[in-house]
Amino acid sequence: MTLNSIAKELNLDCNSDINITGLNTLKDASNCEISFLENKKYLSDLKDTKAGAVFITEEFKNELPSNTIALITEHPYLSLAGLSKLFAPKVVETAGKKAVIGQNSTVMENVSIGKNTIIGNDVTLMSGAFIGDNITIGNNTIIYPNVTIYRDCTIGDDCIIHAGTVIGSDGFGFAHTKDGKYIKIYQNGNVTIGNDVEIGSNTSIDRAAFKSTIIEDGVRIDNLVHIAHNCVIGRGSIITGQCGFAGSSVLKEYVIMGAQSGVAGHLEIAPFTTISAKSGVTKSIKEPKKQWAGFPLMEHRTWLKLQGKINRLLTKDSK
């Protein structure tokens, strides 16, 4: 779409006719993509952005690089929501190539496979699986019953995805108006899963708002885990049952997450970190090879000492 046609759709002023292919973050956008600035903590990204245009308030328009066009709006996040709908793909492709299924692969009854999808060799798709459009599944991968893989996602070689898991559902993204109405931000990215990944049953991995939610090689994910949009789970990490990750959480390699622990959004966890069960990560962890526990989070040894002191106080009071 041309930029002026986009602006017209969103009731904004713009005379430029440059071609726009999509939307992206300030840091990753190219000169044919649109980005936005809602929070001034990202001003450093704004100054270096290569975006063709940016939704921005009047207050910050002078902070833009000279080659980036300002789309002035009172509510940049709402404008982003409107733009995301314009670039949203079809829910279901009605035209395209029939799926290609590799040698020695087994497709049981009641499996649905979409258009333009490629299934590797020696793959097993069990009954009730839904494989959407434009999917790639690598060799020797097993998809158990009632797994759902939404369109545009990629699964590597030697993966196992257990029953009831959903890959590529929409991330939880909404902008709200002054009167409290929620406007959907269409999630136009995908999920990319590496090689040798095992995912337990009834887990949900959301697609990215733009670009990809990434599960790297060798990751092990337990049952009942939620991974939100644009998260990155690093190589060899272990995620145990009932863990939750808010949007854009980044785990470096070989992180271990204890059961029922959670990570707030836009945080980074250093390599070889261990998070104990029922812990809440609310700040980035920059030092590798440490164990953490509790809420608020503290080093595991400190948490043990704290629990001991609390126990002694309670014992003393009871006497």
- Which of 226, 229, 266, 300 is flagged as catalytic? 229
pLDDT of residue 204: 98
Asked whether residue 28 carries a pLDDT value surpassing 80, the answer given is yes
pLDDT bin (cut points 50, 70, 90) of residue 39 is confident
Compute the average pLDDT of residues 6-20. Answer: 93
Asked whether residue 317 carries a pLDDT value surpassing 80, the answer given is no
pLDDT tens digit string along 243-261? 999 999 999 999 999 999 9
Compute the average pLDDT of residues 287-301. Answer: 92
Matching residue, tokens 């440059």: 18
User: What percent of the chain has pLDDT above 90?
Assistant: 88
pLDDT tens digit string along 266-278? 999 999 999 999 9
pLDDT tens digit string along 44-94? 899 899 999 999 999 999 999 989 999 999 999 999 999 999 999 999 999
Asked whether residue 318 carries a pLDDT value surpassing 80, the answer given is no
Give all domains of the chain, ordered by start, each with its CATH number.
3-86 (3.40.1390.10), 100-300 (2.160.10.10)
pLDDT of residue 304: 85
State both tokens at 151.
């369109």
The three-state DSSP-derived secondary structure of the chain is: CEHHHHHHHCCCCCCCCCECCEECCCCCCCCCEEEECCCHHHHHHHHHCCCCEEEECHHHHHHCCCCCEEEECCCHHHHHHHHHHHCCCCCCCCCCCCCEECCCCEECCCCEECCCCEECCCCEECCCCEECCCCEECCCCEECCCCEECCCCEECCCCEECCCCEEEECCCCEEECCCCCEEECCCCCEEEECCCCEECCCCEEECCCCCEEEECCCCEECCCCEECCCCEECCCCEECCCCEECCCCEECCCCEECCCCEECCCCEECCCCEECCCCEECCCECCCCCEEECCCCEEHHHHHHHHHHHHHHHHHHHC
pLDDT tens digit string along 145-190? 999 999 999 999 999 999 999 999 999 999 999 899 999 999 999 9
Asked whether residue 233 carries a pLDDT value surpassing 90, the answer given is yes
* Residues 12-21: contacts with CB under 8 Å, at least 24 apart: 12/71, 12/72, 12/73, 12/79, 13/72, 14/53, 14/69, 14/71, 16/53, 16/69, 18/52, 18/53, 18/69, 20/52, 20/53
**What's the CA gap between 15 and 8, in Å, rounded?**
10
Is 229 annotated as catalytic? yes
Q: What is the pLDDT of the chain when averaged over all its residues? A: 95
Which one, of 209, 226, 287, lies nearest residue 255 by Cα? Answer: 287
**What's the CA gap between 79 and 75, in Å, rounded?**
6
pLDDT tens digit string along 99-111? 999 999 999 999 9
The CA-atom distances, in angstroms, between 43 and each of 47, 55, 157, 230 are 6, 13, 40, 21
Which of 63-67, 294-298, 303-307 shows the lowest per-residue confidence on average (mean pLDDT)? 303-307
Number of C-alpha atoms within 13 angstroms, CB side, residue 290? 16
Number of C-alpha atoms within 13 angstroms, CB side, residue 23? 26
pLDDT of residue 189: 96
Which of 125-134, 168-177, 306-315 shows the lowest per-residue confidence on average (mean pLDDT)? 306-315
Asked whether residue 300 carries a pLDDT value surpassing 90, the answer given is no
pLDDT of residue 40: 85
Q: Are 164 and 185 in contact (CB under 8 A)?
A: no
Asked whether residue 2 carries a pLDDT value surpassing 80, the answer given is yes
Type of residue numbered 245: F
